[in-house]
Amino acid sequence: MVGAWYEITTWAELGKSRTSIYKFYVNVERGQYSTFIKIGLPKPQPCVHIVADHEHDWSELMYLQHRDDCSSNRLLKKGQNGTVLMLYAALSMLKHLFPHITKVEFQDSSKVFCEAINEELDLQLFKLLTQGNTWYQKILPITLKDSYYQERFDETVRILNSPPTVPWSIVNRFMEAHHEKDVYQYFIKEVKEIYMNASTLKDVFRQWYLLFGCAFFVIEMYNLLQIFDLLNVHNLHWVIDLESAMEWSTHQTVQLESIKPPKTPLDHDVHIKLIGSGMKPFYWTNQWKTHDHLCQRGSLSW
């Protein structure tokens, strides 16, 4: 497949000043049944990779990673003023090229490196246990694909946001079984005080992280899920409601200024404004073709 390259300019606004202005190169490869949308240079691998189905209303987010060189004009920051803008840019490109698509499926396999033991920590589960939601939940309207698991997940969030109910004697036996006796005796008083006095279970996990560090969660994550009857969301499928994502309003104003092939003459620029104002989106009217990809002009509110 031969890909067409586009350049996306995007920025976030705090107050009246622009911040985090980024340019991304997007490669669009069109096949017979699906199209691949990728942000960033292909090697070692793209920063974002989305597969769009031509006939159905779904697509799949195959890959998302932060790298400094994901942006073409400056080093990409992590979080709301960097990685999030890049993901929104990719989703906007998807909706721009395929207005019929309403869902984006993905699996959250995000990891963070724990230097204490030179192993990776499951970031999705860690965020869930210590904050009560995942990283993707903070930035996108998502649900689990399977309604049964969604109900279990909702119950897990309820447990995490409630005072701990598992008897201390059970928790204490678990701690004794998974730590060297001499070491645990040094921490037992503080561990018990945290557990008995915490207002929510997620507060317990957050304070245990401060006490023991990331190694504790790398080693004991799945045991903790079992003891406290929490859902293991690892390898489960999430669904992004793309229509809602395009109208999603955050504390920052996110704007996607333009989409156009870089350094290529065009009859028109394509301008899409994404404004966190709660406005309903209206879609494009004047249609034109560039590199065999149907593009449409107009504006869209985010």
Percent of the chain with pLDDT over 90: 43
pLDDT over 50 at 252, yes or no: no
Find the helix or strand (DSSP H, E) in which 184 lies. helix 181-197
Least confident of 134-143, 223-232, 265-274, 275-284: 275-284
**Would you call 73 helix, strand, or coil by DSSP?**
coil
**By C-alpha distance, which of 120, 136, 90, 133 is closest to 272?**
90
Tens digits of residue pLDDT in 20-75: 578 888 889 988 899 999 998 766 788 999 999 998 888 999 989 888 888 888 88
Tens digits of residue pLDDT in 90-106: 888 898 889 999 999 99
pLDDT for res 120: 94
More confident residue, 82 or 170: 170
At residue 231's C-alpha, the angle toward residues 101 and 217, to 5°, is 110
pLDDT for res 274: 35
More confident residue, 86 or 255: 86
pLDDT for res 15: 52
* Rounded Cα gap, residues 180 and 178, in angstroms: 7
| Residue 143, both tokens | 């649900």
Tens digits of residue pLDDT in 173-209: 888 887 666 667 778 889 999 999 999 999 999 999 9
pLDDT for res 258: 55
Domain ranges of the chain: 3-107+238-296, 111-233
pLDDT for res 217: 93
